[in-house]
Structures are given as C-alpha cells and as structure tokens.
A and B are shown apart, each in its own frame.
Chain A
Amino acid sequence: MPTTEPDPIATDNAVSGEEHPVLTERLAREQPLEGLPPLVQTPSQTVGPFFGFSLPYDGGPELVPPASPGSVRLHGTVRDGAGTPVPDAIIELWQPDADGRMVQEPGSRHRARGVFTGFGRAAVDAGGHYEFTTVVPGATGDGPRWALLTLFARGLAHHLFTRAYFVAEGEAEPTDSLLSGVAEDRRGTLLARQDTATSYRFDITLQGEGETVFLDYPAAAR
C-alpha cells in the first residue's frame, strides 16, 4: 500500500498519547525507529467462550499423522482453581522437529503429507482434555527437549505460556536455567512425562494446588 497519506499509527488512538511523526517515512525505508520511543503494545482480551466455530480446524492437533512412525501423543487435562476440568480452553503447540530444528514451513492449517510445520492447535473436550499428535521435539541446542504451549480460555484475560519438557520413562529429569530457577515443588508441573510407549502427559492447572508454572519474557519485549 502507498504511504502518501498521514500515517494512522502515528495519529490515531492505536497509540494514543504517543507521537510518531516520522513513522511513515521510516516504514517506507524499512528501518527501525531509532531515537523514537517504541510503539505501545495492543492489550489482550479473553478468547471468550465462542471460539469453537473459528479457531479449531481439521488437522489442527495433528502435527504428524496419527500412528505414523515416531509419532507420539501429547495430552493432558486443563483444570481450574477448584480442580474442575475447564471445558472451554484452547491450546497451541509450537516446537522443533525431531532433530531440534525450528522449521519455517507454511501449511499448519492445511497440512501437506510429509511436511512438518511445528505448529498445532487443539481445543479441549467437554472433560477439559486436549491431545496432540506430534514428535518428541529435538533439543535446539545443548539443553533438554521441550515444546512451547500457549493456553487461551474463557475467563482468562490474557493467554498463558508454559513449556512442556519431555521426560521418557526412566530418563533423568532435565535441567536448564529455567528449571533450576523454579522452586523444586513446582518444577514437576513443567514435565511432560511418558505415560505409555507412545504418549506423554502434560496436565495444566490454572490455579491453586499444583498450579502450573507459567512464563513471562521480559527480555523479549521491545
């Protein structure tokens, strides 16, 4: 789009109270806004109760075809502060492939056979249970193997991030800088433990006893 008109971001209430007079020019040159204050984050709002006809999609929970070689189930139940299963949550999975590579392949919404995109989305069922079919993520570096989970729900004004560290049966518990900084009695909430030959379990508790460790990334904010 041409940028000859006054820049709306600079002038309208998207960033009320902040002046960005040269934003249009900088955008045109595709340069960062040196010397200008950063633009202000647009606030979150709850996903609400009525996402079921919009966000879930066929194949969303299946990063790889069910029962394909190397596939595993990642599953669990989402519970609230009373221990009641949450029937209206939706979870996103973002992970490396089995070799630890973060791929950049389109096709998460319309999966092509043999293409691993690393992204999946699963709504919980009436019993609060979610289930993905994926591969055990490879380690992206020297550390342990884990996947990023993002949880949205009615009643949750802002989504929650957590990590699921995969622990095979009999395997030693992983360590890294995040895990070692978490109180020992809460560390287990970050572990996806193998529960059958081809399945890992990762329950999520929003509040109270056994509350899952949720994450914040201050260093990511620009």
Chain B
Amino acid sequence: MTAEPTQDDITREIQEKQREAAERGIPSRHPSRDFAPYRSSILRHPTHELVKTDPEEIERTTPAFGHIDVDPYESDLTIQHPGEPLGERIIVEGRVVDGDGRPVRNQLIEIWQANASGRYIHKRDQHPAPLDPNFTGVGRALTGDDGSYRFVTIKPGPYPWGNHRNAWRPAHIHFSLFGNAFTERLVTQMYFPGDPLFALDPIYQSIPDQAARDRLISTYDHNLSVPEWALGYRWDIVLTGATATWMEDEHADH
C-alpha cells in the first residue's frame, strides 16, 4: 500500500512536469491530459496521439440557443430562493470573442460553483461545510450581440478534494461555453486574483504555461462594483479552437 501523497510530494511532481514542459520549449494553450499530479487523470488520458482531421460541416457549426432555452433570471444566482444566499455578493462580467476578437453572440454560457463555504449542492460532495438553503450555485446566460455576459452570484469558497493529503482547490467558478463552431467548445474554470492556493493546485497547474494559467484569473474591476451592493470581477474568454496538440506537433521533432 502506498502512503497518501503529501502536498510537498504533489508540488514536487508539478514542478517536475513543468520543467519537462519548459525543456520541450513549447508554450501550451491547454492543460496536458497526462498530468499525474492530478491523480484522476492517470487512467483517463489517451495514450495515442489525437488524430488530426479537417473539420467538416458538422464540426464547423454549433447549436443555436435562444430565449426558449434560457430565462434571463438564470444569470442571477442570488434570487433563486426565498432568501438571500450567505457570502460575498459579486458580479462577474466579460465578453466571449473568437481569435479575431469577433464577438460570440447569442451563445449559451453555463456556470456552476460551490457556495461561500466551499460546499457544492451535489449529493456526492462530502465536505463537512454547511449547505446554504438559499444557494444552488447554477447559472445560465446567453451572450449579447457584443459577446458580453453578466452573472450575479456569491464568491465561492475553496474546498478540500482528496487528491492528496490536505488538498484544497482555489476558489473557482466552472464555465461551459459554446463558440462559433463546435471545435471551439470549452469547459473551464474562472479563478480569483491573488489566491494563495494557485501554486499548490494540480488542476490549475496542469496548464504548463504561466501566461496561459493567468488567462483563467479574473480581474477585480472597481468600475464594475456597485456601491453598497456587490464587488465586480471581469473575465474575458477567447474561443479559437486552437489545441495544445497542434502547438506541440508544429514544433515537435518526430
């Protein structure tokens, strides 16, 4: 039986993986699927190289979503129950654009998150922190004509997750995004500036490139904050369909 890895073990593994990535010298846009410090990845990453193919019409198109799919109230996660949720009320606002900066319009954004105590409403979340009867933690919105979105929610708490001893996820909001083509589909997580857990988190650190990691951190924007009511965070999202493998292959000596 192997002993439960400590944070130091995991941190050392993260640093080794990132050193290897730096030696390859290829800035990667996405996390590597083969990233053992994130233990659940070990049996779940493909070992064959992805097969490169030209996108056909199916892959170049994407579902249309409309007002039939999303109620405007779904973008406010603080009004889904009779009472107000506990925690720090925040506004998260930004734009979704493609690689040319063109807005991704009228597209579906879905978010989900833990409550202020770091507890998900999900039945398998075992974290002994309180549920909040006034907070579900699910939001949806359609982007505007300029690709903009805006959610009102509460700041999620960090939570333990059992990857190793004393493993804690930095506070984050999960985002699901559709682009202008299905190849641009993205599920990711938005973080908050200055989180002390960044360096310790193998999920966040599975992205080998610091500049790429930074793109997941929202910016506190005082102009977005509403006096006497909520703090504002801005986070813009770029969907190009570019993949890490492509970057790697372009530079790899086979």
Residues from chain B with a CB closer than 8 A to the CB of A109 are 65, 68-70, 108
Query: What class of interface size applies to chain A in its complex with B?
Result: 35 or more
A177–B51 alpha-carbon span in the complex (Å): 12
A19–B238 alpha-carbon span in the complex (Å): 14
A44–B215 alpha-carbon span in the complex (Å): 10
Residues from chain B with a CB closer than 8 A to the CB of A96 are 57-58
Task: Decide: B236 and A14 in contact? CB cutoff 8 A.
Answer: yes
A67 within 8 A of B: no
Task: Decide: A222 and B138 in contact? CB cutoff 8 A.
Answer: no
Residues from chain B with a CB closer than 8 A to the CB of A217 are 52-55, 59, 183, 241, 243
A141 within 8 A of B: yes
Partner of B112, one of A54, A147, A215: A54
Residues from chain A with a CB closer than 8 A to the CB of B136 are 53
A23–B102 alpha-carbon span in the complex (Å): 9
A-B interface contact total, Cβ < 8 Å: 317
Extra inter-chain contacts (13) besides given A45-B174, A81-B42, A217-B59, CB under 8 Å: A1-B144, A1-B146, A8-B234, A43-B31, A45-B207, A46-B31, A47-B176, A150-B185, A157-B35, A157-B206, A182-B51, A218-B52, A222-B242
What 10 A-B pairs come out closest when comparing CB atoms? A106-B66, A155-B40, A54-B112, A221-B242, A157-B31, A222-B99, A216-B50, A119-B63, A109-B69, A14-B236
5 contacts across the A-B interface (CB closer than 8 A): A41-B242, A43-B216, A54-B137, A108-B63, A156-B44
| A→B interface (CB under 8 Å) | 1, 3, 5, 8-9, 12-17, 20, 23, 26-27, 30, 32-33, 36, 38-55, 80-82, 84, 86, 92, 94-96, 102, 104-110, 112, 117-119, 140-141, 143, 146-148, 150, 152-161, 177-178, 181-182, 186, 206-208, 211-222
